[in-house]
Structure 1
């Protein structure tokens, strides 16, 4: 019986090392190429979007058509270092961005749904609508999510972006 146990243990050790090595190599291949910051908080300021490509976005909010101008949220996050330029993988897939409004409203997006190689969810941060800068009731910035069936995530009065 003792001999059988030793033989089994030896076989497991011999097989386990190559399997563990293969698993480690496979896991390393899917690790993020860019480091993942634990938490990042970005306070809204026009400087966050200065110089980023601008987009015209039309959306219907509670029966009112809006034609707004702003930047892609993914471009803002990449410039800030909160999201890598390459397609997401590994630990980045478990990350999210919480967008906080000054009235306490909060919406959440996973980085995976924003990544153009995965979810492709178009989300924009607008600072102008209908040809005018956003007023205090709507601004200083607002989110636009044209693909959503209702505007619940098109938050206004954006104050902070928290990436975790």
Structure 2
């Protein structure tokens, strides 16, 4: 082995040892958790864990005020009724009762359908104090309960330019903190 090869091996050995030493002393990445809001050093109120499965059972939905919405999708006019998504999120603890604190701005709502279709809303856009995006989880349209093709629950966002984020056959609603 030549002197140059010995020097190269020695240099690589030191570099490897230094790299392993640095890795051993590195702090692990922390899981997302509630943190201070950063405004005046006050801690934010605790919020639901991530991911948080929002209950969609009849008892939970029956406790919430019902609203009506008129909307159109694919040339069809709809008069529907159900519960506001933000009211459901508040009632289940997924959205705070008061002003949305800074750490919660990194949370989103994932709505899944039986057929695998999924859409996403930011928690901030659904919060009336921040984004005011209206979305309703409906169970009745045009005077009748939703049929198998659309129900038993359907999410409608009447302000969206097109109904791409409307979800038929809602199966799950999950609130997640972005990584």
TM superposition score category, shorter chain reference: 0.7 to 0.9
TM-score in terms of structure 2 length? 0.73
1:9 aligned residue: none
4+ residue segments displaced more than 3 Å: 24-31
Structure 1: stretches of 5+ with no match in the other structure: 1-23
Of 63, 83, 95, which residue of structure 1 is paired with 2:75? 63
Structure 2 residue matching 1:49: 3-state secondary structure: helix
Task: Give the structure-1-normalised TM-score.
Answer: 0.80
Aligned to 1:97, the other structure's residue is in SS state: strand
Alpha carbon RMSD of aligned pairs, Å? Answer: 1.8
Greater percentage in helix: 1
Q: Within 2, Cα distance between the matches of 1:40 and 1:152?
A: 24
In the alignment, is the contact (CA less than 8 A) between 2:37 and 2:43 conserved in 1? no
Which of 147, 150, 157 is the equivalent residue of 1:138? 150
Counterpart selection for 1:47 from 59, 76, 86 = 59
* Aligned ranges 1:12-161 → 2 under 5 Å: 26-27=38-39, 29=41, 31-161=43-173
- Compute the displacement of 1:35 (Å): 3.2
Contact 1:39-1:163 at 8 Å conserved across structures: yes
Task: Give a deviation string over 1:72-93, Cα, whole Å, max 9, x none.
Answer: 0001011111111011112111
- For residues 26 and 71 of structure 1, what CA distance do their matches in structure 2 show? 33
Post-superposition Cα deviations, 1:85-110, rounded to whole Å, max 9, x if no partner, equal 01111211100110000010101111
Pairwise CA distance, 1:34: 3.0
